[in-house]
Structure 1
Amino acid sequence: MSLSQITRNSFLLICFFFLLWYISSSFYFEQKELLSNKNEETLTEVHLTSPLTLSSNTTITDDDRNPLEELNKKYCGKPTCKFLFVYSLGEQETKANLHFRSFSQLAEKLNRIMILTNVGSSRIGTCNKFPFDFYYNTNLLQKEFPNVLFKSENDFIFWLKERDQIKRKINNNDNKVIPPLSILHSSIKLHHKNTNMKTFYDNAVTNFDKHECISKFEPLMNTKDSNNSRVKYTKLFIRTTDLKTEKSRVKSSELLTKVLTIDEEILLVNGYVIFPLFPQIMPVIPYSDHILNEAQKIKDKLSSSYIGIHWRLERSTPELLPKCVQGLIKTLNKVMKEEGIKNIYLATDYPLLSSRSQSSTFKEITNYHHDAIRTLNETFKINTWVSLGGLEQLRKNDKYDKELNGSGIQGILDKLVCMNSNYFVSGPKGCSRVVSTFTKTIADERRNRIKDKDYSLLNIIDRWRIYL
């Protein structure tokens, strides 16, 4: 056999073995790929069918974790959620501000989450439709109470909703894994009518002092349905003298903390206490930036130099008002001449945008009231939050009409503008409400600023005189 034949045969043999190797390898890798794809499809199917979706944020898994505890960890940071929801505070904003601070102190003592109750119409209460941060700066509130976790009403509703979804998915006739909501509803009120009665805490009849606005949480929280909620009712009546002094509040706050240290998930409170609940009075809850900005705009429009007047007509004697307005005019002329101030800002409960007063408790407006304001306007150029275009963006939106046409956010704006005024005056007895938390808050803030060397403030507060 020649050399060329040997070479050709060797080449053919090599080609044969290479072809055999290629066919075998192709078959092996094709099978491996098919098996791999099949496994991936199987895993995908398992992944897609295993979770039982409740919402975009909540799933039930097949492991041993308690779904309610997992939900609570998400909202409350621990396996059990305990809320303090003071859903009604019976006074207007300045006093309600004080009471919300007191109940935030209680939330800290009880280690409960404090619900940021809705606001509106110069009130803090769940009947209102605006969120808490419409009035208040929640970031600064949190800094004041670093040990309290705050949640909005919307957060509370989301928790109720997801809890209810879990309950519906898991529970059946034979297996009640998720129990009904556990609720204590407590009415906490001051004995302002019977000052001799001692402070006491006791059980109360079903629905005792429960405000109808709480029904807005139905069907997620239905206090009338035992399958949804198991509710206990209690009442705490506090003697006035037990809250009037720092010393007396030590004992009463200890009692309050003791009786309300309970296991229920939700502590609902309808409160009307007038005075602070704890010995320490926390600083005023700071107002939202958008209100502070409005106050600064008004100050700028007044050339940063103005007299602030707080004239609350509600408790005035109508027949005295002609003399009251003449006394105010004399005082204004004197201050303007001596201090060289030309601008005047009036904060009042008298109607400015509509026929309704700017106080929810000021009902009877007479011709004496109309004549007094008319005389003042005819004597000076009187500026108000309305005339200076305050809260302009809110006034363009119909949903704020009710808020702005009565008592509402403008009361906070008035308060801030008067705090910033160079000179501040308010009415004497007979012309105005003298014992006013609103006026006291302004005076306290001005006193602190003067103490801190704010030389733009020329006085704390003066009351004009009437000449009989």
Structure 2
Amino acid sequence: MKQFNQTSQKIMLAIQITKASLLICFFFILWYLLYEQNKLFLTGEQANNTETLTEVHLSSPSTLSSNITLNTINNNDSIENPLNELKELNKRYCGNPTCKFLFVYNFGEQETKANLHFRSFSQLAEKLNRTMILTNVGSSQISVCQNFSFNLYYNVTLLKKEFPNVLYKSEDDFILWLKERDQIKNKLNNINNNEVIPPLSILHSNLRRYDITSETIYRNVKPVVSLSECLSKFGPFMNLTDPNNSRVKYTIMDITKFDLKTEQSRAKFSKLLIDDLSVNEEILLVNSYVLDPLFPVIMPVIPYNDYILNEAQKLKEKLSSSYIGIHWRLEQSRPELLPECAQGLIITLNKIMKEEGIENIYLATDYPLLSSSSQSDTFTKITNYHHDAIRMLNETFKINTWVSLGGLEQLRKNEKYDTEFIGPGIQGILDKLVCVNSNYFIAGPKGCSRILSTFTKAIADERSNRLDSGLLNVIDRWKIPL
């Protein structure tokens, strides 16, 4: 009986504990339901506030928080992101949050001189801390009007080693920068409904050697309406006539020939040039015709593309590595004197071949080889005297040229480069390299040839640096027989 009572008490105690537990659970569930209902009510009220903010300030409610202060921060972020995009764009292209370009869109002369000028402006880009555009090439020029990228002629990798402190970008890179900048500008200005990123800031400067002036003058000028039409290929992202797209200032520098003649005068001039062109504009756009170096130190020739160097080596091997190189630039010769000029060249060649034991001849000339057009833009009047002189030479010797030896065959088979071989072009660089490597080198005398030829001088200068490699001379000029 006693055991039964103890069992009953345990059961009653368990029932009481269970009732207490159920009661606690009930109140806990009731409290939870009331809390959630209140939470839902508050969230709905805040959502109503969010919709009002969206209508006034933002375009997408998905970016909003339930906190009003955070809404303001997110609103600012949505505006500042394009600014950050612009900085990142500039860092990607220029290595700095702000891009500053030097774009010399026309170098004014054929490749040999243009090569010299490009080096001078690379020095300027370094002094101004500007990214330099690798202007297109073609037809023996460095110009925005040409169709081929800079590396058709030149080795950009070696150029960068020559100027390690200059950042170079191609015309295609420049177009991409213009396009992306324009997209970011439109995005930010539309979001803010105000102009935040301004139009492109451009300084257009025309640099020219002006021989009639007694001192170098740099001045502002009115807008230049006769700019190269080829600049239009950068539109609509760079439009020089639309003030909403580009804000352009125009200047001109007339440079005396005396300021560029000596190392001392160039040292003085270059300081003036750097001071005048140290500006804040994003783009320094330059049309150049200066003829001479701009800085006291003249940098080495821009290295040529490996393809051209390999072609020069192939031609040298076809000439059995022993040959006389001739540069006969017929432009500015006296046509009626050309038969005597040809006779003098024949006498000179016979003498050299006999004395030096050289059997092969290579001719570099502006005379037409592939078409009726000469290989110089400025040599247009070709007479029977010119034809007769070349005929006399061919009838006496086997005359090799880049055409007869199959030079640049790969490019010549590609229709893309057809225009490059009508007139001056990449073949001029090949001629120069083959003549530099010749065992003996001769050029025309006064009356028979253009004496003040930068092309001829460049060959002679390079040969003077290679005399210890077995060359027989630097340069000789044949004589007209009396």
Structure 1 length-normalised TM = 0.85
Following superposition, the deviation at residue 398 of structure 1 comes to: 1.2
Q: How far apart are the structure 2 equivalents of 1:208 and 1:81?
A: 26
Q: Specify the alignment match of 1:16 in structure 2.
A: none
Q: Specify the alignment match of 1:459 in structure 2.
A: 473
Q: How far apart are the structure 1 equivalents of 2:79 and 2:305?
A: 45
**Structure 2 residue identity aligned to 1:460:** V
How many residues align structurally?
A: 406
Q: Structure 1 residue 404 and structure 2 residue 421: aligned?
A: yes
- Mapping for residues 67-466 of structure 1, pairs under 5 Å: 67-172=85-190, 174-192=193-211, 194=212, 196-207=213-224, 210-450=227-467, 453-455=468-470, 457-466=471-480
Deviation string 1:20-74 (CA, Å, 9 cap, x unpaired) is xxxxxxxxxxxxxxxxxxxxxxxxxxxxx98xxxxxxxxx984845221121011
Structure 2 unaligned blocks of 5 or more: 1-61, 64-75
Following superposition, the deviation at residue 208 of structure 1 comes to: 5.6
Contact persistence 1:311–1:348 (CA under 8 A):
yes
Following superposition, the deviation at residue 177 of structure 1 comes to: 2.0
Q: How far apart are the structure 2 equivalents of 1:63 and 1:216?
A: 31
Following superposition, the deviation at residue 210 of structure 1 comes to: 2.2
Structure 1 residues 61 and 130: alpha-carbon distance in aligned structure 2, compared to 1, 3 A threshold: farther
Q: How far apart are the structure 1 equivalents of 2:378 and 2:108?
A: 12
Select between 458-467 and 201-210 the one with higher mean Cα deviation.
201-210
Contact persistence 1:160–1:220 (CA under 8 A):
yes
Contact persistence 2:103–2:283 (CA under 8 A):
yes
Structure 2 length-normalised TM = 0.83
**Structure 1 residue identity aligned to 2:239:** N
Deviation string 1:372-399 (CA, Å, 9 cap, x unpaired) is 0011000000000000000001111112
**Structure 2 residue identity aligned to 1:100:** F
Structure 1 unaligned blocks of 5 or more: 1-48, 51-59
Contact persistence 2:79–2:188 (CA under 8 A):
no
Contact persistence 1:208–1:233 (CA under 8 A):
no
SS of the equivalent of 2:378 reads coil
Structure 1 residues 283 and 178: alpha-carbon distance in aligned structure 2, compared to 1, 3 A threshold: same
**Structure 1 residue identity aligned to 2:126:** E
Following superposition, the deviation at residue 167 of structure 1 comes to: 1.4
Q: Specify the alignment match of 1:26 in structure 2.
A: none
Following superposition, the deviation at residue 207 of structure 1 comes to: 1.7
Max radius of gyration: which structure? Answer: 2
SS of the equivalent of 1:91 reads strand
**Structure 2 residue identity aligned to 1:465:** K
- Coordinate RMSD, CA, aligned: 1.4
Identity of aligned residues (%): 72
Q: Specify the alignment match of 1:29 in structure 2.
A: none
Q: How far apart are the structure 2 equivalents of 1:121 and 1:361?
A: 12
